[in-house]
Amino acid sequence: MRTEYDGIMSMQRFFAGILPAADGWDVRRQFEAGMEPERPFATIEQIGPAEVSGAPAQQELVIPYVASLYLPRTGTRKAADDAALNVMRSAVKVGDPLRPTTDRIPLWDYSDRLEWQRISLGGASAGTFTISLDAETSAALAFDADGDAVQGALDEIVGENNAIVHYRGVGLYDVIFIGALSGQEPGTLEIDDASLTALTEPTVTRKLHGTEAPWRTPSDWMRVRSFGQTTVRDEDEPTLVQVNVDLRCAFSRGLPLPFNQMILQRIAAPA
């Protein structure tokens, strides 16, 4: 059975796909650490306990979620209403019972997945920085250090063969923990930017790899059980609104049996 964490991460991934990419939406879990994001952003959180129900032939784990979509600032109240309507049109597709079953929310498996952390130097153009983890700190690195240089710095901190650095361009590095740190809680890397010239403050974002689960089969998938949405307006600033999408999702795990055998099993199951 999939876990609540798998569901929240899958919801985050799903909403990141339906929101307008051109508007720079930031989608994160409610309990993620870090700075308060700027609009537009969405937070995904579990809002109630999971309930297990179902017959012997099929069980469901029903988990309530809410996605709070904080729209970008607009110039007028009408523009805010139009923006909210556009987002609701995208979100309402999730809960439309008339849509085909292939539009169920894809469920991704995040259990025992490798964690990775993205280091962004915020558009650095000069200077140096260091990377720290717990009490270990690397030597100074140039703002335009390549992947090999950052790899060497990580090897000093966590030991060889415990992290892989993928160089994504100047000032952008993905760090994947492997070896002795695979599946562990390594902590969050910290960047000392006192000697760095950058446009914005450097950040470290923690993420998990996910592998797609066989959610289109009767054996393991997630669907929307109930759906509701409301528009919430900021009383102090009417041009700021947010759309709340309330979802009750069910993880279903049915037995891989032909339909007639499932009926026989239900009949034979004790009351």
Q: Which CATH number is 236's domain given?
A: 3.30.2000.10
Do 92 and 169 reside in the same domain of the chain?
A: no
Residue 31 pLDDT more than 70? Answer: no
- Residue 84 amino acid letter: A
Do 104 and 225 reside in the same domain of the chain?
A: yes
3-state SS assignment for residue 51: strand
Do 105 and 8 reside in the same domain of the chain?
A: yes
The tally of domains found in the chain comes to 2
| Interval 49-81: pLDDT, tens | 877 765 555 566 778 888 888 888 888 888 888
Cα–Cα distance measured from residue 33 to residue 14, given in angstroms and rounded to the nearest whole number: 20
- Domain housing 167: 115-209
Residue 125 pLDDT more than 60? Answer: yes
CB 212 within 8 Å of CB 109: yes
Residue 46, C-beta contacts closer than 8 angstroms, at least 6 positions apart: 4, 7, 8, 63, 64, 65
Do 104 and 155 reside in the same domain of the chain?
A: no
Do 141 and 219 reside in the same domain of the chain?
A: no
Residue 13 pLDDT more than 70? Answer: yes
Do 40 and 62 reside in the same domain of the chain?
A: yes
Nearest of 124, 122, 184, 180 to residue 155 by alpha carbon: 180
- Cis (ω within 30 of 0) for the bond into 40? yes
Residue 176: per-residue pLDDT: 86
- Residue 251 amino acid letter: F
The last residue of a domain, from among 159, 175, 209:
209
Do 134 and 189 reside in the same domain of the chain?
A: yes
CB 91 within 8 Å of CB 71: no
Do 132 and 70 reside in the same domain of the chain?
A: no
Cα–Cα distance measured from residue 271 to residue 259, given in angstroms and rounded to the nearest whole number: 20
Do 187 and 227 reside in the same domain of the chain?
A: no
Pairing assessment for the beta strands 163-169 and 126-133 based on DSSP bridges: unpaired
Do 123 and 205 reside in the same domain of the chain?
A: yes
Cα–Cα distance measured from residue 197 to residue 124, given in angstroms and rounded to the nearest whole number: 5
Do 187 and 220 reside in the same domain of the chain?
A: no
Do 242 and 195 reside in the same domain of the chain?
A: no
The answer to whether the predicted template modeling score (pTM) of the entire model surpasses 0.85 is no
Instruction: Assign 139 a pLDDT band (cuts: 50, 70, 90).
Output: very high
The last residue of a domain, from among 170, 192, 209:
209
3-state SS assignment for residue 72: coil
Cα–Cα distance measured from residue 117 to residue 131, given in angstroms and rounded to the nearest whole number: 12
